[in-house]
Structure 1
Amino acid sequence: MIEILNARQIERARVTGRVVGDILATIRQRCRIGTNLLEIDRWAKELILAADAESCYVDYAPPFGRGPFGHNICTAVNDAVLHAMPRDTRLADGDLLTLDLAIVKDGVAADAAISFIVGDAGAPEDHAMIATTERALAAAIDIAAPGVRLGDLSHAIGSVLTDAGYPINTEFGGHGIGTTMHQDPHVANTGRPGRGFALRPGLLLALEPWVMADTDRLITDPDDGWTLRSATGCRTAHSEHTIAITETGAEILTLPTAG
């Protein structure tokens, strides 16, 4: 089902989105060399509860996971990229960390992800990979408007990723979002322009370009049954925003208040 939200729901989505953006920004500022991933999960829980919201992940139990997920935020480090379960691990200088957060507040969900380098030892290729996912996300948002096809968004994302030399995995991508976290339509990170569902005002999409440095193949961590890692052990990056399609274009809902 593709859900179209009404004006009141869109206004609630703006509030939810700002909470997501603010929580991610706050946790990013707190992350230091030596920060434990379980500490990040505790911070997320505290901030979500303070906002009178709920994490979409705690009870999340799709067919592909060893569910329920049981944590409040995804914490992907280095070769981990999606559905990364927090564990008793401390961050090291130069780690590439992705935080992925989805919450629901007042009946509407929002979802976003950020990737960044911990400390001062980040490799230039890691910064470049993160910047590429951010450019791909911006490219899709820039063209999102009523009448634009899903394939146009996928093509915009895929063109940036491919031009930068990254393989693209099509198993997981962006998705519709609204009163629940994961909805139709699926938004692949590559595709053919002019194909697919035509965007309509009131549609919410979570767009999420993600890449692995030298492979398009994922493996599931056998220890937790959730964390998806690059098959070669290479580093990964992931950028995501929830957007609302408006009468004239698209509005980013998950920017932090200061941003």
Structure 2
Amino acid sequence: MKKFVKGVRFAPKNYSDEVEAKIQHYKREGYKLPSRHLLRTEEQLAGIRESARINTALLDYISENIREGMSTAEIDHMVYCFTTDHDAIPAPFLYEGFPKSVCVSINDVVCHGIPSTKEFLRSGDIVNVDVSTIYKGYFSDASRMYMIGEVSPEMQRLVQVTRECRDIGIQAAQPWARLGDVGAAIQEHAEKNGYSVVRDLCGHGVGIKFHEEPDVEHFGKRGTGMLIVPGMTFTIEPMINMGSYEVFIDEADGWTVCTDDGLPSAQWESMILITEDGNEILTQ
């Protein structure tokens, strides 16, 4: 769920002199750098990791209980109960007017599907469940794909390649690389397999707010974009379409994003922390 929110909590310096020296070097070279408040402190990371632990456990719980015939409203109820039972808050609930605790997106729905008592999971469906958690003021975010009943080989392949795109993006998100490197790696793998990458939505910074800088696009050109610096936390969540990358928002609810051509879409999302020697997967 990507809608930019202004306002951040500023953090003290929390990185080594070596990192500071590299920041100053790249600043002199004219690179686009993240704001310092996006580099997390150890205190912040402790809270973010705990939020992420609950978020991942929630997706595990959904994985154990999702089934053919259940309504998407039942998934929403599961998410609300599990989250609140862990003294946390479902971040999507009433976020900019979103009416439910989770996004459930089926087949040609790219993202932001609103749970309903009238919508049921059927054999052959591919379903994205996107959960986000607030715990003691700290945010986490992730989504998984689920295949319901007998899913066609074509749909299975879309789900698998999309997961590979997410993993390739994570591999590319290394300290002192560029965000364009991440997008290019994802785009290359998707297009090599005959798919397209949604342009109108992207990953995002997360941790202190639900959505922060930077925007993490899943297409792009290597050697461009913001420098990736240790201490950043953001999502990688490629939305990969079987057909065209063009999408539209359902005017009836103002949220549900669908493929323009009606062909299926898939998405996997993880949240990562950039470290001095690589990255740490916080949610998956």
Q: TM-score, normalised by structure 2?
A: 0.84
Choose the corresponding residue for 2:268, options 230, 236, 239: 239
Which one-letter code corresponds to 2:78 in the other structure? W
Q: Which residue number corresponds to residue 21 of structure 2?
A: none
Q: What is the aligned counterpart of 1:206 among 220, 223, 235? A: 235
* Structure 1 stretch displaced more, 74-83 or 218-227: 218-227
Counterpart secondary structure, 1:253:
strand
Q: Is the 8 A contact 2:187 2:196 kept in 1?
A: no
> What is the aligned counterpart of 2:123 among 84, 93, 99?
93
1:40 counterpart = 2:70 = no
Equivalent residues, number:
248
| Identity between Structure 1 and Structure 2 (%) | 29
Farther-moved stretch of structure 1 (206-215 vs 38-47): 206-215
Does residue 178 (structure 1) correspond to residue 207 (structure 2)? The answer is yes
Which runs of at least 4 in structure 1 moved beyond 3 Å after TM superposition? none
* CA-CA distance at 1:176 after TM superposition: 1.0
Gap regions ≥5 residues in structure 2: 1-7, 9-34
Residue number among 69, 84, 91 corresponding to 1:49 in the alignment: 84
The amino acid that maps onto 1:18 is R
- Distance (whole Å) between structure 1 residues aligned to residue 147 and residue 212 of structure 2: 31
SS in 2 for 1:103: strand
Deviations 1:28-76 (A, max 9, x none): 2211111011010000000110111111111211xxxxxx001100000
**Is the 1:200–1:245 Cα contact (8 Å) retained in structure 2?**
yes
Gaps of 5+ in 1: 62-67
Q: Shift of the alpha carbon at 1:172?
A: 0.4
Alignment partner of 2:179 out of 143, 150, 158: 150
Determine the structure 1 residue equivalent to 2:165: 136
The structural deviation recorded for 1:81 is 1.4
1:5 is matched with: 40
The residue type equivalent to 2:145 in the other structure is: S
Q: Is 1:161 the counterpart of 2:190 in the alignment? A: yes
AA of the residue aligned to 2:63: R
Aligned partners of 1:144, 1:214: CA distance in 2, in Å? 27
Larger radius of gyration between Structure 1 and Structure 2 = 2
Partner of 2:112: 83
Structure 2 CA distance, aligned partners of 1:126 and 1:25?
22
Deviation, structure 1 residue 223? 2.9
CA contact (8 A) 1:208 1:239 kept: yes
> Aligned partners of 2:162, 2:173: CA distance in 1, in Å?
17
> In 2, distance between residues paired with 1:94 and 1:25?
21
